[in-house]
Amino acid sequence: MHQHNDQLFTVISYSYSEYIQAQIDLLNNSLYFSTIYFDEETFHLQESLKEIFLSLPTLLSAGSSSKEACATELLNYRATLEQKFRCLIAYQRELTHIVTLKQQAFSLTKDYLEELGLTDIDSTQIDYEKLALDCTHYVFNENKETSIQKKASELLPYIPIKLTKENYLAYCKKSITHIAIQDTPEAASHLVSILKQLFDGTDCPQYGQHFSDLVESLDNLAILNDLTDLFEEANLLNETIETLIDMLHHMHKTICTLSNLLLFDQLDFTDITDMHVSFSDLYYSLKSVFLNESESEVLLPTLKERLENLTKELKQEMQKVSTTAQVNPFFNLMQSYLSMSIDQIFGFTTVKKSNYSTDVSMIIEVFINDLRSKLFALPTLERKCRMQYFISNIPFVMSHDNLNTYIQKAFTHLKTPEQGVLTAMQLSSILEQAGYFPAIKEQPIIEEDLENDDAATRFLAEHGE
């Protein structure tokens, strides 16, 4: 019993510190005080969460009848935030698609090739087999499935699709059957909804309903014909989307951590603040920031620094009590709330191969047939871009040899030699940024090298035959 009490006191303390941390991160978000201009509903949710924080001493009173009502309200808020998050991811997906299409259209123009120094390059100088092997080794360099998946997803969007539509669909079907879901039609329908959105962001059920001004920005971006303007506008839009995603992430975190504090009927606010000497001061200091925004610049950095040290201490305690032989069921529940993240919506848990029921298999089959119809209806360039992006987001199920062959095949029968060189440069850039070429021999740098130090020259020096 004593062990159980230690576990609960520790997880309550840690949940409280994480709740305060999420509030500080939220206030530090550069768009927090401008939310109303982007989405009124998100602003009202933000205000509701603020009011809950300000009323915490009253809400967390022993035997308070408001706890259950607040917990139910938080569940509704969480569902709404997840819808909004899906919309922002859909916008980001379409932003990537627009930029990729425009870039590919521009990439083979004479001016663009001259800018990269590619007009006089002989593509036969490049050892594509070696590059394919390097990429394959990069992906399979670790044994962890999550690491393999992550590395494959970095490369696959840039590898030209050389599969027939039917072979591509067969691979997608094989990949999807490795996704672990509940064997119910409801779970399958939800999975299919996520998959549709990954292929085409506009298939998100709430597309355009949340942060609707961003859709207008995407439409304007699609008609831009100047590459410099396109990249500038796209970067600004992506930065806005990323900042809004970050905001939703912290709002979601406040809900999950606060839910832990609402689980116990007899838990009082003073019980929590008595658990650590800093807890009361952290709350009231943060409260003054909410009530007086002008204090945020002075107080928030100090609060953040104090909380970092405290959280590190509490995290060590959490790890210690997690290893005890007997674990309180409430401890497990609270740990699950602490581990929740809004981006888990797009995270697939994989198994060897799921044996779906007939009903679930049929729903998956309908999705594959719908995907087939889309592939045959889309213009070639758009189809290839969407295929490459989608295959990078579903579970990676290629073997070492299959991936090596897949990459080598990507460099065959390209429309122009320059297309192969550009693709090779993109892939090698990913490897180099990951520090994957430690064995490359260092060459002495001389003045002539510096004068001719363009991307194409460096690329050929490192990856030529």
For 14-48, what is each residue's pLDDT tens digit?
999 999 999 999 999 999 999 999 999 999 999 99
What pLDDT does 120 receive? 59
C-alpha–C-alpha distance, residues 270 and 50, integer Å: 20
C-alpha–C-alpha distance, residues 172 and 364, integer Å: 10
C-alpha–C-alpha distance, residues 161 and 407, integer Å: 9
Residue partners of 245: CB distance under 8 A and separation at least 6:
85, 88, 89, 92
C-alpha–C-alpha distance, residues 290 and 16, integer Å: 18
> Model confidence at 114, in pLDDT bands (50, 70, 90)?
low
Select the highest-mean-pLDDT range: 122-131, 146-155, 302-311: 146-155
Specify the residue for token string 């951590």.
257
Q: Which residue has the higher pLDDT, 206 or 416?
A: 206
98-111 confidence digits (pLDDT tens)? 998 888 777 656 56
Across the range 142-153, mean pLDDT stands at 89
What is each CA distance from 133 to 140, 400, 412, in whole angstroms? 11, 9, 16
Q: Bridge partners of 179?
A: 350
Are the beta carbons of 354 and 400 closer than 8 angstroms? no
What pLDDT does 109 receive? 60
Across the range 148-156, mean pLDDT stands at 94
> Model confidence at 421, in pLDDT bands (50, 70, 90)?
confident
What pLDDT does 45 receive? 97
Select the highest-mean-pLDDT range: 119-128, 224-233, 250-259: 250-259
Q: Does the structure show a pLDDT above 70 at 133?
A: yes
Across the range 68-73, mean pLDDT stands at 94
> Model confidence at 455, in pLDDT bands (50, 70, 90)?
very low
C-alpha–C-alpha distance, residues 113 and 128, integer Å: 20
> Model confidence at 450, in pLDDT bands (50, 70, 90)?
very low
What pLDDT does 332 receive? 86
Question: What's the chain's average pLDDT?
Answer: 86
Q: Which residue has the higher pLDDT, 6 or 61?
A: 61
Across the range 117-139, mean pLDDT stands at 79
Q: Which residue has the higher pLDDT, 173 or 449?
A: 173
C-alpha–C-alpha distance, residues 74 and 57, integer Å: 17
What pLDDT does 49 receive? 97
* Residue 188 identity (one-letter amino acid): A
Q: Does the structure show a pLDDT above 70 at 283?
A: yes
334-367 confidence digits (pLDDT tens)? 999 999 999 888 888 887 776 889 999 999 999 9
C-alpha–C-alpha distance, residues 429 and 155, integer Å: 10
Residue 229 half-sphere exposure, CB side, CA atoms within 13 Å?
7
What pLDDT does 4 receive? 56
In percent, the amount of the chain with pLDDT more than 70 equals 88
Q: 19-33, 156-170, 183-197, 305-319: lowest mean pLDDT where? A: 305-319
* Residue 276 identity (one-letter amino acid): H
Q: Which residue has the higher pLDDT, 451 or 91?
A: 91
What pLDDT does 413 receive? 76
Select the highest-mean-pLDDT range: 152-156, 263-267, 446-450: 152-156
Q: What is the DSSP string of 309-332?
A: HHHHHHHHHHHHHHTSSS--HHHH
C-alpha–C-alpha distance, residues 390 and 163, integer Å: 14
Are the beta carbons of 130 and 463 closer than 8 angstroms? yes
In percent, the amount of the chain with pLDDT more than 90 equals 61
Residue partners of 210: CB distance under 8 A and separation at least 6:
39, 41, 42, 83, 84, 87, 88
What pLDDT does 439 receive? 47
Across the range 128-157, mean pLDDT stands at 92
Across the range 227-239, mean pLDDT stands at 92
> Model confidence at 294, in pLDDT bands (50, 70, 90)?
confident
Are the beta carbons of 19 and 254 closer than 8 angstroms? yes
Across the range 404-417, mean pLDDT stands at 85
Q: Does the structure show a pLDDT above 80 at 403?
A: yes
